[in-house]
Amino acid sequence: MGLRRILVVDDDPDIREYFAAVLDDHGYEVAGAGDSAAALAELDRFLPDVVIVDVLLPGRSGLDLLVTLRRSPRWSATPLVVVTGVDQLLKDDCQSYLGAHAGVEGPDAVLGKPIHPATLLAVLRAIETRQLAVS
């Protein structure tokens, strides 16, 4: 099963457009959302295979959205990539934030801004490879 449909959740339209262009150029289908509420609505409409979410969003944060998805029966298995410009939230600290939510698995990958197109694509391919190995 390939990962084709990507939902990008970021409040900066430039970044949404950037990711959409890169992913579109490489055969992915992309939808965008500017905040967590819009993302939740888009999930049911677009049925993404992967969700890429920025940590700092207006209103509910990206990590908050992650916890919601991980706990939802429908989306718990959907790969999730967290994007952030905040150093402290990278890697370990992201896990420790999630540690406060017992049983919630962390993101499948964390991307630190700025993000090169190759990095974005490599992360998606790694997730895909991992999924294929599991199945």
Partner 1 sequence: MRDPYAQYFEEMPCYLSVHDRDFRIIHGNQRFRRDFGEQGDYCYRAYKGRDSVCDGCPVEKTFLEGAPQISEQVLRTRDGQEIPVRVRTTPIRDEAGQIVAVMEMHTDISESKRLQEQLAHSRQRLAQLFEEVPCYLSVQGPDRIIQHANRRFRETFGPAIGEPCYRVFKHRDEQCLVCNAQIVYREGKAFDHEEVVVSADGREINVLVTTAPLRNARGEVEAVIEMAVDITQIRELQSQLTSIGLLVGSISHGIKGLLTGLDGGLYLVNSGFERGDEARLKKGWEMVVRNVERIRSMVLDILYYAKDRELEVVDVDVASLVGELAEVMEKKAVDGGVALSFDVASGVGTLPGDGKALRAMLVNILENSLEACRAEMGKRDLRVTMSVRRLDPWMVIVVEDNGVGMDRETREKLFSLFFSSKGSKGTGLGLFIANKIVAKHGGSITVDSEVGRGSRFVIRLPLEARPSTRPNPELAPLSAAARGS
In the stretch 43-72, what mask flags binding to partner 1 with x, by CB under 8 A? -----------x-xxx--------------
Which residue from 7, 8, 15, 31 is in contact with partner 1, where contact means CB under 8 A?
A: 15
Shortest Cβ 81–partner 1 spacing (Å):
14
d(CA 93, CA 105): 14
CB 80 within 8 A of CB 53: yes
Instruction: Kindly provide the b/e burial profile for residues 22-52, where b requires at least 16 CB atoms within 10 angstroms of the residue's own CB.
Output: bbeeeebebbbbbbbeebbebbeebebbbbb
Size, binding site for partner 1 by CB under 8 A: 28
Q: How far is residue 78's CA from residue 130's CA, in Å, rounded to a whole number?
A: 13
- The single residue among 23, 34, 70, 127 that binds partner 1, judged by CB under 8 A, is 34
Contacts to partner 1 by CB under 8 A: 10-15, 17-19, 21-22, 25, 34, 38, 54, 56-58, 85-88, 112-117
